[in-house]
């Protein structure tokens, strides 16, 4: 009792609370008759004890951290990198503890003293945290809040763990012990310490619980292609027909089967003469399609979960025609690239989009306008840009603009804010555009008019994408949601919520049952369109995700970020197959070639790069982790003339279209 | 503690009319202001990324403010990135240079040109993975070995990089192009089309594969066509254009080009008709040589020494024709004042002695020869004059000493000189007049000296060199010692140039004075006068 009293008195004196001291003394003299039993109230004692310590708490954090840091740096090389992993979470949580306890000045000095250690790996997080200057900011900032609420998983080998515990016990640095206990969840593994690159989770400290992400990634997904797709049909036909040279009976059977399928579809197939013609053509190109069949036939087939729009016969015909004429691309056969350069945009072009056949190019501008160019009218040289004469118009490349009086493009006006994204329907008859005015607008390229205005998002819509079959589309917005829409409804069909920050880009899976979204929270998520649930979280990017692409076989996905890193992901396992390094600036766009052998990427560093995806995805599976991780390779870098590449699009015949703005260097 | 200082908050508060903001309020507002600012910048970066840009603009910040339902900051929109200037005296303080614009001016100004409308151009970035060499594409660095199927097949198993011998494949288009150009050069080098061709050679990006062919063509034709003046000129123009082309890597072919270029400079005979203005060709080629030395001098460090040696040999060999001497002088002069000072000036005196008989009507009866000699003399005069001009130009403007009387008389000289220049330059083309001047050259210079001499004597109140005087004066004026030391050095240099000038004056007559820039005259004239008077004293 006496001890406590003197303690309190001393404390008050130290703090300069004269009145309180006086009061206490008065209290003493009064209460000596009926003393409160301080001893029997351990909580209070503890509280007081704690309180008296609080001013050197700051020092304890700073001291504890710097000691832990120097201990870690001087630890054994073998275990050092594992122990270093612990430092970062300890650092940010110590900082946030200091802020939360109101030692703002000290928190700032603490931050400045040690943040350079982590600058390399976590510069963006640090940038965000640097601004946190009061308790209220901690609560307000999504990132900080989720960090505070969740524990960080650190994978560490048993011995390192023991080392760390030993150290903490020996030094008695309770502050560090507290932080580590409170915020870090150790997963001690027996055996040797892992390699540095092993654990991607170290790289990105995502606010959301890692366990939850792991759990989500356990869910089953059906990444296979749609049953009865046109590709499949043409493969089948090709296969059957080439076989038919040997066995006629089988051919008949196949034919019958096929026609049965067709009649089931609605009896809309063309007349038999037409089919005969087609069959002949198929026969001619059977070899090439069969080759392709080999690569894709392994993919399982799934049923569509959405009711898909019905395709007219003519369209079907033209697509089949395209499929037959498709150029086979591989590491030895690189595609031809036709480049559309936007000139005189006066810094106003925000996005561009190319229709699937390359006949239309759209640009969304910051002055709220959407402009569409018909490439057939661009001048003589477009004869080369269209699909027919791919190789015979390389000379005479100078641009003959239509006479200056008439505009060379169709102007679509209707938005009231910068247009951030535009997308063509698969047949090129519709365009969707999304804007900062929170709306998405549907335009008809046939009527040159606005058809529908979709309102639903509350903040700028960053991205909009038509589904591979048309009719449905997905949008991504600053309001942290992605939404699924159908052209004939003005309300969204699904709202996908879950990202911790803006949803920056969206992409459909080849079978239309899933969409992928990339976000500023540096994760990519895969959502089930039917249920609206998140089925995969892909963690590994270090900065905002800007572009996504799905492989045509539905198995892989590529995502590009602000730093120029491209990652390829295996959808079924949710793991990163390989990061593709090479770009030095934002990857604005990604595109898989039609048979999925090549990946093209366009970046702000004024290059188009072609990557061999077959080596990056298939080889490691065969060798199973035995080889070096950098098996994949950049096949070719195509530099442009100071033109950042905004969009890429493979036509069905595997001609690559690219678009960008000529930017003069200042 | 935050990057926003308390004082800043107070200033802002005052600007919106809150004068008595308490310290505590300012202190707690400061961190929040910083946080909000960071928040807005983060949103602005989002907007920037979605506008597919890598440079943040004011529009992005406005967009971010809009997102937060805050009124945008008006008045900062601009088409491009803002130009910041560094505040003088502060290392990390920047500001936007924002001029006051007079409304009247804006209204009265003619309408600016309407900006061009957005357009789309289309080109092939690659054809089956190979980039065609067209102006629309970024220049392709070096000739790569044509890709071969075999190597790729091997690559599928192991990334073995087999280098095939470089097979040089010239595309059909390039062949056609080459044929057209050579034909134009040979046949119609004075047509407008040839000019277009030169522009194309200077700008087109895909021409690199043709460079060896062009060098060979030039070398071949120069050796064959020494009699064809227009052809030679056309060839030199082609070389010039090739050198201008930023996409061409011409270095490896320089050693093949140089002999033909030097030939066009110092050949005895260029063209076979009298009407052929081979002087012009030599002048042009001299410029070309200088360009080559300037561009590649640092890569080929022996280039200039070898070149100057050749030229100097040509100049100092009395057996060579005067036309060759002319070319050599022009070539050396084009290489810059230093070359002139080091190589021409020391040889000036003996050479002039050699040249003198050729110049005079009495001694050289051949009209043509004499004309040539005068051309050479003119070139020499120009080279020496330019040398001395450059030399004098580098002197910083000196604090002008207060000797007004002197400077006035100097001005007289200055005004006198331009007239003389006219008189001395025109005769270069016009022989009789020139003869006259030349014959009374010594007298002319004497006359000049007499005009100068009095000023020198005026000055000679203290007859020592004016250099000392000025230095003393400067010292008296309270300048720091260091400055006077620098001044001394400058004066020393100046004195040297003065000496050179005097020698030149002696050798070439007053024609040289026209090359001395007028402000410099005032700076150097004092010494020159002093020296001249000395020289004249000696002579007399």
Q: What torsion, rounded to 10 degrees, do the Cα atoms A604, A605, A606, A609 define?
A: -100
Q: In the structure encoding, which two tokens stand for residue B169, read together? A: 């494949």
**pLDDT tens digits, one per residue of A460-483:** 999 999 998 889 999 999 999 999
Residue A459 backbone dihedrals phi, psi, to 5 degrees: -135, 175
State mean pLDDT over B167-180. 78
CB contact under 8 A, B1 and A105: yes
CB contact under 8 A, A340 and B132: no
Q: Is the dihedral of CA B209, B210, B211, B212 positive or negative?
A: positive
Mutation to test the B interface, candidates A500, A641, A648, most B Cβ within 10 Å: A641
Q: Could you tell me which of B263, B139, B307 has the C-alpha nearest to residue B209?
A: B139
User: pTM of this prediction?
Assistant: 0.59
Show residues of chain A in contact with B117, CB under 8 Å: 344, 404, 407-408
Radius of gyration in angstroms for the set of CA atoms belonging to chain A, rounded to a whole number = 31
CA distance A61 to chain B (A): 18
SS3 A665: coil
Mutation to test the A interface, candidates B122, B149, B150, B196, most A Cβ within 10 Å: B122
State mean pLDDT over A430-446. 93
**pLDDT tens digits, one per residue of A528-583:** 998 988 998 888 888 899 999 999 888 899 999 998 999 999 888 888 888 888 89
The structure tokens 């911790």 sit at A500
CB contact under 8 A, A336 and B126: yes
Q: In the structure encoding, which two tokens stand for residue B313, read together? A: 């040999």
pLDDT at A246: 41
CA distance A130 to chain B (A): 9
Whether A333 shows a pLDDT value over 70: the answer reads yes
Average pLDDT, chain A: 75
Place B8 in a pLDDT band, splitting at 50, 70 and 90.
confident
CA distances from A136 to A101, A108, A115, B34 (A): 11, 16, 22, 13
Q: Could you tell me which of A463, A466, A364, A474 has the C-alpha nearest to residue A425?
A: A466
Q: Which of B49, B115, B136 sits opposite A562 (nearest CB)?
A: B49
Spatial separation of the C-alpha atoms in residues A631 and B194, rounded to whole Å: 53
Spatial separation of the C-alpha atoms in residues B124 and A358, rounded to whole Å: 13
Q: Could you tell me which of A518, A443, A436 has the C-alpha nearest to residue A474?
A: A518
Spatial separation of the C-alpha atoms in residues B161 and B150, rounded to whole Å: 11
State mean pLDDT over A307-335. 83
CA distance B51 to chain A (A): 4
pLDDT at B93: 83
Show residues of chain A in contact with B50, CB under 8 Å: 350, 420, 460, 462, 504
CA distance A590 to chain B (A): 14
A 10 A CB-CB count for B74 gives 8
pLDDT at B494: 60
Whether A405 shows a pLDDT value over 50: the answer reads no
**pLDDT tens digits, one per residue of B190-243:** 788 888 888 888 888 778 788 888 888 888 888 887 777 888 888 888 888 888
**pLDDT tens digits, one per residue of A48-102:** 555 555 557 778 888 888 888 888 888 777 777 777 778 888 888 888 888 888 8
Among A122-126, A562-566, B164-168, the minimum mean pLDDT is found in B164-168
Radius of gyration in angstroms for the set of CA atoms belonging to chain B, rounded to a whole number = 34
- Tell me the three-class secondary structure of A459-475, residue by residue: CCEEEEEECCCCCEEEE
Contact B403, B459 (CB under 8 A): yes
Q: What is the DSSP string of A7-73?
A: HHHHHHHHHT-HHHHHHHHHHHHHHTSS---STT-HHHHHHHHHHHHGGGHHHHHHHHHHHHHHHHH
Spatial separation of the C-alpha atoms in residues B353 and B317, rounded to whole Å: 14
Residues pairing with A6 in the sheet: none
Helix (H) or strand (E) holding A492: none
- Comparing A250 with A507, the larger pLDDT belongs to A507
Q: What is the DSSP string of B405-461?
A: HHHHHHHHHHHHHHHHHHHHHGGGT-HHHHHHHHHTHHHHHHHHHHHHHHHHHHHTT
Chain B residues 43-62 within an 8 A CB cutoff of chain A: 46, 49-54, 57, 59
Q: Could you tell me which of A190, A181, A184, A180 has the C-alpha nearest to residue A157?
A: A190
Q: What torsion, rounded to 10 degrees, do the Cα atoms B180, B183, B189, B193 define?
A: -20
State mean pLDDT over A506-512. 91
Show residues of chain B in contact with A134, CB under 8 Å: 28, 31-32, 35
CB contact under 8 A, B138 and A462: no
CB contact under 8 A, A335 and B132: no
Spatial separation of the C-alpha atoms in residues A434 and A558, rounded to whole Å: 23
Q: Which of B31, B127, B129 sits opposite A104 (nearest CB)?
A: B31
Contact B179, B111 (CB under 8 A): no
pLDDT at B256: 81
Whether A285 shows a pLDDT value over 50: the answer reads no
Whether B251 shows a pLDDT value over 60: the answer reads yes
Q: In the structure encoding, which two tokens stand for residue A548, read together? A: 């996504």
Among A428-432, B337-341, B495-499, the minimum mean pLDDT is found in B495-499
Q: What torsion, rounded to 10 degrees, do the Cα atoms A104, A501, A145, A160 define?
A: -100
Q: Could you tell me which of A550, A616, A544 has the C-alpha nearest to residue A579?
A: A616
pLDDT at A79: 75
CA distance A562 to chain B (A): 8
pLDDT at A451: 93
Average pLDDT, chain B: 71
Residue A566 backbone dihedrals phi, psi, to 5 degrees: -115, 135
Asked if B112 has any chain A CB less than 8 Å from its own CB, the reply is no
Relative to beta strand A225-226, strand A301-302 is: parallel
Q: What is the DSSP string of A113-171?
A: HHGGGGHHHHHHHHHHHHT--SHHHHHH-HHHHHHHHSPEEEEEEHHHHHHHHHHHHHH
Percent of chain A residues topping a pLDDT of 70: 70
Whether A409 shows a pLDDT value over 70: the answer reads yes
A 10 A CB-CB count for A249 gives 8
Greatest mean pLDDT among A468-477, A573-582, B106-115, B492-501:
A468-477
CB-hemisphere CA count at 13 Å for B67?
Answer: 28
The structure tokens 């522009």 sit at B199
Residue A81 CA to chain centroid, in angstroms? 28
A 10 A CB-CB count for A156 gives 24
Spatial separation of the C-alpha atoms in residues A659 and B52, rounded to whole Å: 12
Among A289-298, A526-535, A608-617, B99-108, the minimum mean pLDDT is found in A289-298
Complex ipTM, two decimals? 0.71
- Comparing B443 with B56, the larger pLDDT belongs to B56
CA distance A500 to chain B (A): 14
The structure tokens 């043709």 sit at B210
Contact A593, A610 (CB under 8 A): no
């Amino acid at each position: 009792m006496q001890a406590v009293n003197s303690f309190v008195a001393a404390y008050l004196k130290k703090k300069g609370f004269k009145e309180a001291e006086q009061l206490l003394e008065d209290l003493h003299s009064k209460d000596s008759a009926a003393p409160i039993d301080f001893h029997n109230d351990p909580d209070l004692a503890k509280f007081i004890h704690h309180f008296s310590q609080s001013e050197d708490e700051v020092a304890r954090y700073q001291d504890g951290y710097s000691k832990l840091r120097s201990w870690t740096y001087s630890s054994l090389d073998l275990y050092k990198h594992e122990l270093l992993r612990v430092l970062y979470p300890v650092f940010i949580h110590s900082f946030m503890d200091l802020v939360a306890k109101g030692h703002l000045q000290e928190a700032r000095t603490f931050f400045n003293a040690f943040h350079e250690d982590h600058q390399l790996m976590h510069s963006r997080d640090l940038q965000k945290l640097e601004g946190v200057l009061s308790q209220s900011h901690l609560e307000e900032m999504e990132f900080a809040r989720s960090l505070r609420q969740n524990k960080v998983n650190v994978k560490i080998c048993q011995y390192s763990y023991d080392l760390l515990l030993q150290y903490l016990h020996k030094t008695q640095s309770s502050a560090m012990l507290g932080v580590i206990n409170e915020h870090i969840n150790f997963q001690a593994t027996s055996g040797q310490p892992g390699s540095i690159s092993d654990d991607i989770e170290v790289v990105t400290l995502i606010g959301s619980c890692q366990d939850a992400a792991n759990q989500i990634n356990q869910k089953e997904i059906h990444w296979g292609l749609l049953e009865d797709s046109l590709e499949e049909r043409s493969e089948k036909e090709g296969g059957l027909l080439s076989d038919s040279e040997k066995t006629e009976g089988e051919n008949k059977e196949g034919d019958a089967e096929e026609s049965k399928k067709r009649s089931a579809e609605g009896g809309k197939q063309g007349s038999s003469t037409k089919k005969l013609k087609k069959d002949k053509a198929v026969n001619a190109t059977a070899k090439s399609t069969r080759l392709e069949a080999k690569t894709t036939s392994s993919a399982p087939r799934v049923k569509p979960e959405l009711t898909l729009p019905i395709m007219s016969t003519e369209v079907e015909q033209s697509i089949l025609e395209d499929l037959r004429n498709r150029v086979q691309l591989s590491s030895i056969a690189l595609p031809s690239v036709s480049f559309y350069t936007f000139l005189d945009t006066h810094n106003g072009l925000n996005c561009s989009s190319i229709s699937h056949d390359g006949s239309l190019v759209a640009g969304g501008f910051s002055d709220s306008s959407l402009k569409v160019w018909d490439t057939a009218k661009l001048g003589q040289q477009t004869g080369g840009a269209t699909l027919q004469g791919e190789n015979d118009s390389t000379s005479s490349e100078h641009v003959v603009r239509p006479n200056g009086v008439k505009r060379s493009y169709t102007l679509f006006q209707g938005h009231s804010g910068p247009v951030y994204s535009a997308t063509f329907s698969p047949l090129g008859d519709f365009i969707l555009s999304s804007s900062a005015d929170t709306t998405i607008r549907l335009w008809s390229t046939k009527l040159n008019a606005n058809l529908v205005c979709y309102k639903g998002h509350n903040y700028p819509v960053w991205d909009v994408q038509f589904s591979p079959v048309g009719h449905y589309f997905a949008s991504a917005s600053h309001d942290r949601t992605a939404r699924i829409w159908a052209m004939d409804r003005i309300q969204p069909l699904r709202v996908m919520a879950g990202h911790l920050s803006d949803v920056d880009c969206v992409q459909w899976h080849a079978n239309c049952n899933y969409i992928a979204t990339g976000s500023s929270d540096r994760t990519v998520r895969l959502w089930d369109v039917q249920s609206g649930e998140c089925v995969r979280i892909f963690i590994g990017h270090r900065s905002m995700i800007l572009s996504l692409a799905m492989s045509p076989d539905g198995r892989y996905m590529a995502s590009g970020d602000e730093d120029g890193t491209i990652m390829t992901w295996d959808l079924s396992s949710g793991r990163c197959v390989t990061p593709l390094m090479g770009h030095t600036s934002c990857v604005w766009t990604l595109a898989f070639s039609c048979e999925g052998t090549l990946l093209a990427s366009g970046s702000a560093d004024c290059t188009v790069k072609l990557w061999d995806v077959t080596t990056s995805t298939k080889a490691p599976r065969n060798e199973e982790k035995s080889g070096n991780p950098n098996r994949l390779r950049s096949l070719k870098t195509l530099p442009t003339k100071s033109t950042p590449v905004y969009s890429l699009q493979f036509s069905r015949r595997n001609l690559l279209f690219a678009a960008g703005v000529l930017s003069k260097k200042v | 503690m935050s990057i926003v200082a308390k004082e800043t908050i107070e200033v802002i508060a005052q600007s919106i009319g809150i004068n008595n903001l308490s310290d505590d309020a300012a202190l707690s507002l400061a961190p929040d202001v910083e946080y909000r600012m960071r928040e807005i910048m983060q949103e602005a970066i989002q907007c920037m990324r979605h506008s597919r840009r890598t440079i943040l603009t004011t529009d992005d910040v406005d967009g971010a403010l809009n997102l937060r339902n805050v009124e945008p900051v008006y008045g900062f929109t601009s088409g491009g990135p803002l130009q910041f200037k560094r505040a003088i005296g502060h290392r990390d303080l920047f500001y936007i240079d924002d001029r006051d614009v007079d409304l009247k001016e804006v209204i009265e100004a003619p309408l600016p040109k309407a900006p061009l409308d957005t357009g789309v151009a289309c080109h092939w970035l690659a054809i089956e993975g190979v980039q065609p060499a067209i102006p629309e594409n970024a220049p392709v660095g070096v000739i790569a070995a044509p890709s071969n199927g075999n190597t790729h097949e091997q690559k599928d198993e192991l990334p073995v990089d087999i280098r095939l011998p470089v097979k040089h494949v010239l595309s059909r288009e390039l062949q056609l192009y080459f044929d057209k150009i050579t034909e134009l050069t040979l046949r119609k080098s004075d047509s407008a089309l040839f000019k277009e061709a030169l522009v194309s050679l200077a700008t087109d990006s895909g021409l690199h594969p043709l460079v060896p062919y062009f060098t060979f063509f030039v070398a071949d034709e120069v050796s064959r066509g020494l009699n064809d003046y227009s052809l030679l000129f056309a060839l030199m123009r082609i070389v010039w254009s090739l050198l201008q082309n930023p996409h061409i890597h011409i270095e490896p072919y320089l050693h093949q080009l140089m002999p033909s270029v030097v030939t066009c400079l110092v050949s005895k005979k260029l063209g076979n008709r009298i009407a052929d203005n081979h002087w012009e060709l030599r002048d042009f080629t001299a410029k070309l040589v200088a360009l080559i030395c300037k561009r590649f001098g640092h890569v080929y460090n022996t280039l200039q020494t070898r070149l100057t040696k050749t030229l100097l040999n040509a100049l100092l060999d009395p057996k060579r024709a005067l036309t060759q001497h002319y070319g050599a002088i022009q070539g050396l002069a084009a290489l810059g004042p230093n070359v002139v000072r080091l190589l021409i000036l020391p040889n000036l005196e003996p050479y002039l002695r050699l040249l003198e008989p050729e110049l005079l009507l009495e001694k050289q009866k051949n009209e043509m020869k004499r004309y040539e000699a005068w051309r050479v003399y003119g070139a020499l005069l120009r080279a020496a004059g330019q040398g001395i001009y450059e030399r004098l130009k580098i002197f910083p403007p000196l604090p002008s000493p207060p000797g007004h009387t002197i400077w006035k008389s100097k001005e007289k000289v200055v005004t006198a000189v331009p007239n003389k220049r006219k008189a001395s330059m025109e005769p270069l083309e016009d022989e009789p007049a020139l003869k006259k001047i030349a014959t009374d050259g010594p007298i002319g210079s004497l006359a000049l000296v007499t005009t100068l001499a009095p000023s020198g004597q005026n000055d000679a109140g203290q007859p020592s060199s004016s250099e000392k005087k000025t230095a003393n004066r400067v010292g008296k004026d309270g300048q720091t010692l260091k400055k006077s030391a620098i001044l001394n050095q400058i004066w020393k240099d100046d004195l040297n140039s003065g000496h050179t000038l005097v020698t030149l004056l002696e050798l070439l007559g007053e024609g040289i004075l026209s090359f001395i820039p007028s402000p410099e005259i005032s700076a150097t004239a004092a010494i020159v006068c002093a020296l001249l008077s000395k020289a004249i004293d000696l002579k007399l």
